[in-house]
């Protein structure tokens, strides 16, 4: 097997296992209230981390580039209570426009 | 639906990248079908392209995907039935489907999670196939600003989650942890470490 296939197979298997971890090991069971309270905070925590890393991280560097302007524009339009997809489109359009300058 | 289009275009760009780095035609499509997690696949392809070993590519991709352990735990109670069924359905968990299904307060909408996953999966795999086979019509997705579309989506889905002091504190702490770790930890680790912010909820109650 080439290194490409070795990587493809092992990464695929590892990802399948990670995604299955919760549903297969805990599946369908109600979690204790205490754990529930923590798990309830996972969504805002992980979403916030995804937002800042995808906006400001480039490999191992924190960089300010056109993405930040796009996401900031999306944040501004979200304040106007527009549909999510309008905000997402604004982010892409603003970012693309700045890169085209 | 437009998120499906964005995922499709990203799939195309992954296919293009994978092809250009010499992964061949079949391996990138197999990878999209089994891994179904964009960031890890881009990282692996880039490392293989730079002459990295399989081990380096695997390490980077697995680190990037470790977040699926806490993510899958957060939705574990939605999955019933036999273990094989839970295993198959759990593969529809991907950042976008999970974020769309979040209802706040730790609740998730099962139909939205699985429905969005079912929509996005063919978009991702099909996009990859288009990119591998078809090619250069689209150009660089960064030129279209698509790389800003995903953080904007996650931001839009984060805002309604911020009801309550704990949620807000967890989000701010997580963002700070993630940003602080970007320069010092390999990609992927900052996001996983940020999940520690949910410990803010531990003492109360």
Residue B77: Cβ-neighbour burial (10 angstroms; 0-12, 13-18, 19+):
buried
pTM over 0.95: no
A56 within domain boundaries: no
Q: Between residues 155 and 194 of chain B, which touch chain A (CB distance below 8 Å)? A: 155-159, 161-162, 166-168, 170-175, 177-179, 182-187, 190-191, 194
Contact B130, A66 (CB under 8 A): no
Q: Would you state the torsion angle of the CA atoms of residues B123, A28, A10, B136, taken in this order, to the nearest 10 degrees?
A: 10
Both tokens of B117, joined, read 């996953």
Q: What is the pLDDT of residue A82?
A: 83
Contact B70 A61 (CB under 8 A): no
pLDDT at A1: 59
3-state DSSP helix/strand/coil % of chain B, to nearest 5: 75, 0, 25
- Mark yes or no for CB contact A12/B30 under 8 Å: yes
pLDDT in tens, B85-95: 899 999 999 98
A36, A43, A71 ranked by CB distance to B155: nearest: A71
Domain containing A82 equals 64-101
User: Are the Cβ atoms of B148 and A91 closer than 8 angstroms?
Assistant: yes
CB B92 within 8 A of CB B124: no
Q: Is the pLDDT of residue A36 over 80?
A: no
Give yes or no for residue A28 having a pLDDT over 70: no
- Least Cα separation, residue B11 to chain A (angstroms): 16
**Which residues sit opposite A58 in a β-bridge?**
A61
Residue A47: inside a domain, yes or no? no
Higher pLDDT pick, B138 / A12: A12
pLDDT score recorded for residue B158: 87
CA pair distance A38, B166, nearest whole angstrom: 10
Number of domains chain A contains = 1
Predicted local distance difference test score (pLDDT) of residue B113: 92
Q: Which two tokens stand for residue B87?
A: 């295993």
Cβ distance A53 to B170 less than 8 Å, yes or no, reads no
Residue A2 lies in a domain: no
Q: What is the pLDDT of residues B63-119, one digit of tens each?
A: 778 888 888 988 888 888 888 889 999 999 998 898 888 887 778 899 989 998 999
Contact in structure between B79 and A23 (CB atoms under 8 Å): yes
Of B22, B40, B77, which is closest to A29 when you measure between CB atoms?
B77
Instruction: Please tell me whether residue A80 adopts helix, strand or coil conformation.
Output: coil
Residue of A52, A71, A93 with shortest CB distance to B175 = A52
DSSP state of B195: G
Burial classification of residue B165, based on how many CB atoms lie within 10 Å of its CB (0-12 exposed, 13-18 middle, 19 or more buried): exposed
Running DSSP on this structure, what letter comes out for residue B81?
Answer: S
- In this structure, what are the phi and psi dihedrals at residue A61, rounded to the nearest 5 degrees? -120, 145
> For chain A, how big is the Rg over CA atoms in Å?
19
- In a domain? residue A91: yes
A5 part of a folded domain: no
Give the ipTM of the model, two decimals please: 0.86
Q: What is the pLDDT of residue A16?
A: 94
In 3D space, the residue among B154, B155, B157, B137 whose CA is nearest the CA of residue B9 turns out to be B137
Q: Name the token pair of B64.
A: 């990037």
Other C-beta atoms closer than 10 Å to the C-beta of A1 total 9
A94 within a domain of the structure (yes/no): yes
Give the rounded percent of residues in chain B with a pLDDT score beyond 90.
16
Spatial distance between the Cα atoms of B70 and B156, rounded to a whole number of angstroms: 21
Chain B hits for A99, Cβ within 8 Å: 142-143, 145
Any idea which of A52-61, B33-42, B129-138 has the lowest mean pLDDT? B129-138
């Amino acid at each position: 097997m080439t290194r490409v296939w070795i990587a493809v197979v092992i990464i695929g298997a590892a990802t399948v296992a990670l995604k299955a971890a919760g549903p297969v090991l805990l599946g369908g069971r109600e979690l204790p209230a205490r754990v529930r309270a923590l798990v309830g905070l996972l969504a805002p925590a992980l979403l916030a981390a995804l937002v800042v890393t995808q906006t400001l991280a480039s490999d191992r560097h924190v960089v300010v580039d056109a993405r930040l302007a796009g996401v900031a524009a999306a944040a501004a339009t979200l304040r106007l209570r527009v549909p999510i997809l309008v905000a997402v489109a604004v982010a892409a359009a603003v970012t693309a426009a700045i890169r085209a300058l | 639906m437009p998120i499906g289009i964005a995922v499709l275009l990203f799939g195309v760009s992954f296919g293009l990248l994978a092809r250009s780095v010499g992964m061949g035609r079949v391996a990138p499509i197999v990878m999209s079908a089994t891994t179904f997690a964009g960031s890890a696949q881009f990282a692996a392809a880039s490392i293989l392209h730079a002459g990295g070993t399989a081990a380096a590519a695997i390490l980077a991709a697995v680190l990037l995907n470790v977040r699926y352990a806490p993510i899958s735990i957060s939705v574990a109670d939605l999955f019933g039935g036999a273990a094989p069924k839970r295993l198959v359905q759990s593969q529809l968990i991907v950042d976008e489907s999970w974020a769309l299904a979040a209802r706040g307060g730790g609740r998730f909408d099962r139909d939205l999670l699985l429905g969005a996953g079912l929509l996005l999966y063919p978009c991702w795999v099909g996009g990859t196939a288009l990119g591998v086979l078809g090619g250069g019509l689209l150009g660089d997705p960064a030129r279209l600003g698509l790389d800003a579309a995903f953080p904007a989506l996650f931001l839009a889905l984060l805002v309604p989650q911020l009801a309550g002091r704990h949620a807000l504190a967890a989000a701010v702490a997580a963002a700070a942890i993630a940003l602080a770790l970007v320069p010092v930890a390999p990609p992927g680790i900052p996001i996983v470490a940020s999940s520690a912010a949910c410990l803010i909820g531990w003492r109360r109650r």
